[in-house]
């Protein structure tokens, strides 16, 4: 009977005689699928990202870029930490920063002060209001149409208008009020210069201020009056502008009261109806007015200038706005009325009768 040692030696010899490659069974596809089945999606091993630390070259490149962006020292440290984090940690940090930024933006919007028309915007409005009133394309000097012309200019250039103000009626009304005040001041200035061209304030025997008509040879001629009206503006003296000024002075000589601008607008309506929209007939009428003005207030050779870019831009926008307005129903602008007569408040000394400098009335 073989001994236990002999039996062990036989088993050991049988194991050593196997081929070296046959000691382990080759892994099959089914084995891999069995392992995958064991690691289910719900397993803690599923979806685990492997942290791949940033290489030294990557770290140096990012740090160099961060320094160019002038990040602080503590921020550079945060960049180093971020580069060493696992991808999921980086994603989580980025999401947290986005939420923090959203909170900061909300605080900024909440803390924004109420909109107010800036001094720069007021200056631009004032300049363009002058240009609109001195434009030969203007259909009428009162009402909402001149305000719409200036608004069209603001929409074109924007200046410092806040985004989305077109959809905020309360803030839009503030701008329209400033425009109306600008037109009030401009009309008042024009009317005072018309007054000064033919009249003067004098003190009578009783010490009272009275208006005195100047003799014809002391009147300001048309060219000098036009120079006074364009002074401080970017407008040029053209033949069409002089025709408008001659019309204004003729209306002023007939009626310098609070309804002066109403009479000017009525005269323009009559001219349009008379000419039937014919530009040549209109220009002939203005030439006749210029000739009559020279006869009454002093003959002078007028040096006409060509229209500059600013006035041409205003004229083109007036044409476009007028066409748009004619094709749509009239809508009154919010804010104080801009269609009443001139202010009838008592004038201060050295002021023509019926004038007022109070823009709040919006009735010049």
- The 3-state secondary structure of 182-243 reads HHHHHHHHHHHHHHHHHEEEEECCCCCEEEEECCHHHCCCHHHHHHHHHCCCCCCCCHHHHH
Q: For the chain, percent helix, then strand, then coil, each to nearest 5? A: 60, 5, 35
Chain centroid to CA 79: 40
Same domain flag for 129 and 222 = yes
Q: Which residues form the domain of 126?
A: 119-361
Nearest to 190 by CA among 262, 130, 128, 132: 130
Q: How far apart are CA 142 and CA 148, in angstroms?
A: 11
- Mean pLDDT across 154-166: 89
d(CA 8, CA 10): 5
Report helix, strand or coil for 209. strand
Do 179 and 69 fall into the same domain? no
The reply to whether 23 falls in a domain is no
Q: 7-58: per-residue pLDDT in tens?
A: 656 665 565 555 455 555 555 555 544 544 444 455 444 454 555 566 788 8
248 with 136, same domain: the answer is yes
Q: Residue 214, exposed/middle/buried by CB under 10 A (0-12, 13-18, 19+)?
A: middle
User: 3-class SS at 166?
Assistant: helix
Domain final residue, candidates 81, 111, 141: 111
The pLDDT of residue 126: 94
CB 199 within 8 A of CB 211: yes
The angle that helices 145-157 and 119-133 make with each other, rounded to 10 degrees, is 130
Residue 22 lies in a domain: no
Q: Is residue 48 part of a domain?
A: no
pLDDT of residue 356: 38
Whether 248 shows a pLDDT value over 80: the answer reads yes
Sign of the CA dihedral running 152, 155, 161, 165:
positive
Q: Is 293 within the bounds of a domain?
A: yes
pLDDT computed for residue 16 by the predictor: 53
Token pair, residue 61, equals 């490149």
CA distance 258 to 342: 4
Phi, psi of 295 (to 5 degrees): -65, -40
- Which position has the higher pLDDT, 270 or 352? 270
Q: Which residues contact 307 (CB under 8 A, 6 or more apart)?
A: 236, 238, 315
Average pLDDT for 184-200: 96
Kindly give, in sequence order, each residue whose CB lies less than 8 Å from that of residue 180, ignoring residues fewer than 6 positions away. 147, 333, 335, 336, 338, 362
- Quick one: how far is CA 268 from the chain centroid? 32
Which of residues 243 and 60 earns the better pLDDT score? 243
> What does the pLDDT look like over 129-143, one tens digit per residue?
999 999 989 999 999
pLDDT of amino acid 214: 95
Q: Determine how β-strand 209-213 pairs with β-strand 199-203.
A: antiparallel
Which is more confidently placed, 14 or 309?
309
Which residues of 186-299 form beta strands (DSSP E)? 199-203, 209-213
Whole-angstrom CA distances from 277 to 4, 307, 327 are 132, 22, 17
Sign of the torsion formed by the C-alpha atoms of 28, 30, 33 and 39: negative
pLDDT at 8: 55
Q: Number of folded domains in the chain?
A: 2
Q: Treating both helix axes as pointing N-terminal to C-terminal, what angle do 260-275 and 169-198 enclose, rounded to 10 degrees?
A: 90
In a domain, 160, yes or no: yes
- pLDDT on residue 54: 67
User: CA-CA distances (angstroms) from residue 9 to 6, 21, 246?
Assistant: 5, 22, 136
One domain, residues 103 and 219: no
CA distance 127 to 134: 11
Residue 339 is assigned to a structural domain of this protein: yes
Q: Are residues 322 and 241 in the same domain?
A: yes
Q: Are residues 62 and 204 in the same domain?
A: no
CB 338 within 8 A of CB 187: no
What does the alpha-carbon distance between residue 28 and residue 305 come to, in Å, rounded to a whole number?
97
pLDDT at residue 263 greater than cutoff 90 = yes
- Give the phi and the psi of residue 241 in degrees, each rounded to 5: -65, -40
Euclidean distance between CA atoms 271 and 288, whole angstroms:
12
Q: Does 12 fall in a domain?
A: no
Q: Are residues 123 and 72 in the same domain?
A: no
The DSSP line for 169-184 is: HHHHHHHHHHHHHHHH
Lowest mean pLDDT among 40-54, 205-219, 236-250: 40-54
Q: Are residues 191 and 269 in the same domain?
A: yes
Question: What's the pLDDT at 9?
Answer: 61
The last residue of one of the domains, among 111, 128, 153, is: 111
Task: Please name the residues in contact with 229: beta carbons below 8 A apart, sequence gap of 6 or more.
Answer: 134, 190, 193, 245
Same domain, 326 and 342: yes
Give residue 349's pLDDT: 37
* Residues 279, 326 share a domain: yes
Mean pLDDT value across the chain:
79
* pTM check: above 0.85: no
Residue range 80-84: mean pLDDT, rounded: 86
Residues 92, 228: one domain? no
Q: Does the residue 96 lie in any domain?
A: yes
Which helix or strand (DSSP H or E) is residue 71 part of?
none
Q: Are residues 126 and 86 in the same domain?
A: no
């Amino acid at each position: 009977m073989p001994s236990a040692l002999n039996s062990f030696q036989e088993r050991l010899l049988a194991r050593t005689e196997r081929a070296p490659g046959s000691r382990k069974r080759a892994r099959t596809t089914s084995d891999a699928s069995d392992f995958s089945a064991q690691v289910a999606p719900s397993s803690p091993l599923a979806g685990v990202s492997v942290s791949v630390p940033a290489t030294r070259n990557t770290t140096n490149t990012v740090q160099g870029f961060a320094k160019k962006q002038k990040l602080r020292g503590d921020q550079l440290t945060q960049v180093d930490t971020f580069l060493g984090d696992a991808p999921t940690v980086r994603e989580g940090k980025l999401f947290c920063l986005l939420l923090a930024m959203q909170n900061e933006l909300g605080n900024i919007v909440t803390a924004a002060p109420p909109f107010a028309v800036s001094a720069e915007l007021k200056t631009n409005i004032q300049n363009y209001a002058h240009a609109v009133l001195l434009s030969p394309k203007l259909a009428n000097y009162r009402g909402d149409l001149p305000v719409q012309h200036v608004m069209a200019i603001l929409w074109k250039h924007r200046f410092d208008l806040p985004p989305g103000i077109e959809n905020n009626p309360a803030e839009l009304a503030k701008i329209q009020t400033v425009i109306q005040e600008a037109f009030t001041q401009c009309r008042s200035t024009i009317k005072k210069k018309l007054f000064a061209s033919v009249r003067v304030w004098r003190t009578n025997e009783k010490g009272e201020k009275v208006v005195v008509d100047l003799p014809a040879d002391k009147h300001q001629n048309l060219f000098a009056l036009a120079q006074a009206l364009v002074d401080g503006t970017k407008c040029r003296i053209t033949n069409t502008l002089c025709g408008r000024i001659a019309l204004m002075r003729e209306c002023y000589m007939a009626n310098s009261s609070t309804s002066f601008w109403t009479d000017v607008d009525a005269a323009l309506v009559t001219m349009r109806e008379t000419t039937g929209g014919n530009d040549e007939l209109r220009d002939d009428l203005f030439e006749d007015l210029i000739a009559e003005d020279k006869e009454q207030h002093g003959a002078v050779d007028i040096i006409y200038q060509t229209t500059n870019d600013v006035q041409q831009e205003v004229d083109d926008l007036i044409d476009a706005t007028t066409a748009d307005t004619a094709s749509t129903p009239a809508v009154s602008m919010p804010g104080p009325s801009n269609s009443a007569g001139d202010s009838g408040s008592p004038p201060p000394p050295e002021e023509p009768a019926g004038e007022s400098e109070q823009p709040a009335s919006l009735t010049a």
